[in-house]
Amino acid sequence: MRVLIAEHDHAVYARLLRQAAPDLDVLTSGDSAELARLAVDCPVWLGQPDLLATLLRQGHKPQWLQSTWAGITPLLADGLPRHYRLTRAVGIFGQVMAEYVLTYILGHEREVLARLVSQVERKWDNRLGQSLVGRKVLIVGTGDIGQSVAQFLVPFGVKLYGIASRPREQAPFVEVAGLEDLGRLVGEVDYVVNLLPNTPSTHDLYDAALFKQFKSTGLFINVGRGVSVVDADLVQALKDGHLAGAVIDVCRQEPLPQRHPFWTAWGLLLTGHSSAPTSPELMVQLFVENLRAYQAKQPLRGEVDFARGY
């Protein structure tokens, strides 16, 4: 079977895939024109959604696309065909995302940034750090990644709450509520971690009205999608003391424009969409598993429902 790789790291992916599945005819190129030529005869594509979307716009008709990202927004753009099967990267981001979330939750409890300021000012900072035991964490989006983040938080003794598309019983959460309960829960927890995908129902969720319901000591962490947040409302909410701080990994426009208010917002830390990089080794392992399932006409992990957008 022929497989096309459309990736910035295409050489790495090609080497790993040829090692993992020597029976495949692996085609790739760093040249866009050559990539388009190779796509003509390839039924299966592996790569990043922005490059795959460019190939689709040229009229190619693959049978199955495997995204190397958890998000597949570029492939959902208006006018793009949806005649093929699409799978997104699942099961490979859980630990690295949990490590990111833990970094900033622990950093907030131990006031790492404030202590750095104290050091710069040569002030002996002997305030006592706090523990996570008993803290309440709300994970907004309890799917594959959210579930994994929750499991990594369990040993710290936190109380876990979740938001999903509909209420349900789900360990290790005390409660998993529907999106309509987001306003209630943000006022009861110490940390709000947004992991929602980019769908019409998740746009502009975090607005002035919602931020007013946060605990004034709460920390907001956005590792989902930038479109979930009304940027100006977050900046104002921080200014007005409706929440203690925000860690923003994802933005509506990336890289962030130089004049954007996030750069200078009080209490806001930017991390430049670095929370969960794709591991080529884990991605190739997932792809080969899905490929064998595809060849055997079995269900694929991470298959996207175009109607839902994830």
Which amino acid is it at 72?
A: I
**Terminal C-alpha separation, the chain:** 27
| pLDDT of residue 230 exceeding 90 | yes
pTM of the full structure = 0.92
- 162: three-class secondary structure by DSSP: strand
What percentage of the chain exceeds 90 in pLDDT?
Answer: 96
- Residue 63 is predicted with a pLDDT of 97
The span from the CA of 26 to the CA of 117, in Å, is 52
Q: Give the β-pairing of 159-164 and 136-140.
A: parallel
pLDDT digits (tens, 9 = 90+) for 67-89: 999 989 999 999 999 999 999 99
Answer whether residue 307 shows pLDDT above 90.
Answer: no
Tell me, which fold does domain 1-89+277-294 have in CATH? Rossmann fold (3.40.50)
pLDDT value, residue 199: 87
Topology alike, domains 1-89+277-294 and 92-268: yes
For the cut 90, the answer to whether the pLDDT of residue 30 exceeds it is yes
Domain 92-268, what fold?
Answer: Rossmann fold (3.40.50)
Question: Cis ω on the peptide bond leading into residue 255 (within 30° of 0)?
Answer: yes
Residue 308 confidence (pLDDT): 86
- Residue 14, CB-side half-sphere exposure with 13 Å CA sphere: 15
* pLDDT value at 211 more than 90: yes
In this prediction, residue 251 has a pLDDT band, given cuts at 50, 70 and 90, of very high
Report the C-alpha gap between 157 and 64 in whole angstroms: 42
Q: CA triplet 45, 51, 54: central angle to 5 degrees? A: 100
What is the CA 142 to chain-centroid distance, rounded? 12
CB atoms within 10 A of CB 91: 15
Residue 271 has pLDDT above 90, yes or no: yes
Task: Give residue 122's pLDDT.
Answer: 98
Kindly state the average pLDDT of the residues 249-271.
97
Residue 309 in this model has a pLDDT that exceeds 90: no
Looking at residues 261-272, what average pLDDT do you find? 97
Average pLDDT, the chain: 96
Catalytic residues: 225, 273
Residues 140-194 have pLDDT tens digits of 999 999 999 999 999 999 999 999 999 999 999 999 999 999 999 999 999 999 9
Q: What percent of the chain has pLDDT over 70?
A: 100
> Domain residues of the chain, as ranges?
1-89+277-294, 92-268
